[in-house]
Amino acid sequence: MTTIEQARKTAEGLDHLSGFGNEHSSEAVPGALPIGRNSPQRAPLGLYAEQLSGTAFTEPRAHNRRSWLYRIRPSAAHPRFVRTGNGALSGAPFTDSAPDPNRLRWGPLPDPPAGTDFLDGLWTLGGNGDAAQRTGMAVHLYAANSPMTDRVFSDADGELLIVPERGGLLLRTEFGLLRADPGHVALIPRGVRFRVELLDESVRGYVCENYGRPFVLPDLGPIGANGLANARDFLAPVAAYEDGGAGGDADRPVEVVNKFCGNLWRAEYDHSPLDVVAWHGNHLPYVYDLHRFNVLGSISYDHPDPSIFTVLTSPSDTPGLAGVDFVVFAPRWLVGEDTFRPPYFHRNVMSEYMGLIEGAYDAKAEGFVPGGGSLHNMMSAHGPDRETFDRASTAELKPQKVDNGLAFMFETRWPVTATAQAMAAGHLQSGYDDVWQGLERHFRS
């Protein structure tokens, strides 16, 4: 069997635990989870007990995130980390180019050389804030064609929201296995070790690295108790562990790569750190199928603000102001009467990075393609391109199903500074401004 066939077989029919932010528990071996306490004098089955804290010990109960891991070796048993190359990955603060008020748009990342795994295939587009201050976010793209073999990654800087666009991923995490196909998203919490295997020859997608408060479901206010992303559709893994070196083979060392304050550090372990036999807690990885999103919208007139499409939000200290929102433009009906139905022209104090998972987006006739992305920074004027404006201004307003695409947005409170590599990239499109050329003067006084 090829490694892809093996990964596909493993990814078939994985068990899950459903719910968002829940206190879940799971054991891969019966009896591995202590009952009634976290730190018994001797943990069951000779395991080591270890707490992983995603929030300060003292944060309010409603925000508090931590998990208890029962593992073959404690995480503390590791050699010294040394700096390794960052590749095309970088972290906030982003200072290698000036924040740019122009509308920017990129085509997809070029295919990487053979043998590129998920970690080597990460390419930073830009971001804001400061990883060391635990504020802001980064936008990364990835393109890979090889599984992570004998190596594991963890990000101390933030949680990783992975948005596959091409090809499926099998994520082997400390908490167990998850699969993420295009149209699904996966979240790896801060500090959780994981390895990415591929379910297809070539994979590509987007990553939002969130340095700030962990993503939560948005409040629903007058919407009521249900709707948007429903909590029960978020799936955490069940416990699964590796015993020994890489792939369970004691003689194969494992490279553990840790992203810390923007840089990559590596250490060679003599065992896999994915050796958690049981766990309980709420600092957990999960997957979510974007097709499950319950899209709400206007059933009378006008185009609602896209905040109504928020899947996950990372709150700031200011109520209603997100460090970053993850927003999805999923298939939906448009029925607004006397309404310009596509996204309106606007200037926004928030900065908008958009990507396309499949198909097309209703504000752009051409040029915004799957795997590509656009950046409309703080106060930059944007909206429908000329072709879309002309079409939608004269369209017959019968009920219309928009079901030819899946787009998303990382909307953030601070301007996104693109990296120098993103500003110099061959796939940065020139002439993006032209999509708004030819919007004629129609004024009659």
Ligand X SMILES: O=C(O)Cc1cc(O)ccc1O
Give 8 or 364: the residue with its C-beta nearer to ligand X: 364
Question: Is 442 labelled a binding residue?
Answer: no
Measure the CA angle with vertex 317, ends 90 and 192; round to 5°. Answer: 45
Binding mask 246-285 for Fe ion (x = CB under 5 A): ----------------------------------------
Question: Is 344 labelled a binding residue?
Answer: no
Residue 47: both structure tokens together: 């395991």
Shortest reach from residue 322's CB to ligand X, in Å:
14
Shortest reach from residue 94's CB to ligand X, in Å:
22
Give 273 or 342: the residue with its C-beta nearer to Fe ion: 342
147: enclosing H helix or E strand:
none
Give 174 or 385: the residue with its C-beta nearer to ligand X: 385
Exposure string over 403-434, b if 16+ CB within 10 A, otherwise e: eebbbbbbbbbbbbbbbebbbebeebbeebee
Exposure string over 38-61, b if 16+ CB within 10 A, otherwise e: eeeeebbeebbbbebebbeeeeee
Footprint of Fe ion on 1-20 (CB under 5 A): none
Give 156 or 344: the residue with its C-beta nearer to Fe ion: 344
Provide the 3-class DSSP secondary structure of residue 46.
helix
Footprint of Fe ion on 342-371 (CB under 5 A): 352
Question: Is 346 labelled a binding residue?
Answer: yes
Residue 16: both structure tokens together: 């899950």
Q: Rounded to an integer, what distance in angstroms lies between the CA atom of residue 330 and that of residue 406?
A: 5
Assess whether 280 carries a catalytic annotation. no
Contact criterion met (CB below 8 Å) for 203 and 43:
no
Of 24, 78, 291, 303, the catalytic one is 303
Binding site for ligand X (CB under 6 A): 303, 306, 343, 346, 348, 352, 363, 376, 382, 409
Interaction partner, residue 363 (ligand X, Fe ion, none; CB < 5-8 Å by kind) = ligand X
Interaction partner, residue 306 (ligand X, Fe ion, none; CB < 5-8 Å by kind) = ligand X
Q: Rounded to an integer, what distance in angstroms lies between the CA atom of residue 170 and that of residue 177?
A: 7
Question: Is 269 labelled a binding residue?
Answer: no
Give 193 or 413: the residue with its C-beta nearer to ligand X: 413
Give 197 or 352: the residue with its C-beta nearer to ligand X: 352
In the numeric block, the tokens 């499949």 are attached to 358
Residue 395: both structure tokens together: 């369209």
Interaction partner, residue 409 (ligand X, Fe ion, none; CB < 5-8 Å by kind) = ligand X
Shortest reach from residue 353's CB to Fe ion, in Å:
10
Q: Rounded to an integer, what distance in angstroms lies between the CA atom of residue 343 and that of residue 385?
A: 10
Shortest reach from residue 368's CB to ligand X, in Å:
9
According to DSSP, the β-strands at 203-210 and 276-281 are: unpaired
Shortest reach from residue 370's CB to Fe ion, in Å:
19
Q: Closest residue to ligand X, Cβ-based? A: 343
Burial of 4 (0-12, 13-18, 19+ CB in 10 A): middle
Q: Which of 359, 351, 327 is nearest to 104 (CA)?
A: 351
Q: Closest residue to Fe ion, Cβ-based? A: 352
Q: Does 411 bind Fe ion (CB under 5 A)?
A: no
Shortest reach from residue 436's CB to ligand X, in Å:
12
> What stretches of 189-335 show up as alpha helix (H) in DSSP?
none
Q: Distances from the Cα of 20 to the Cαs of 24, 63, 276, 330, 438, in angstroms?
A: 10, 12, 21, 20, 47
Residue ranges for the known binding site for homogentisate are: 346, 361, 382
Q: Which residues bind Fe ion (CB under 5 A)?
A: 352
Residue ranges for the known binding site for Fe cation are: 352, 382
Residues labelled as active-site residues:
303
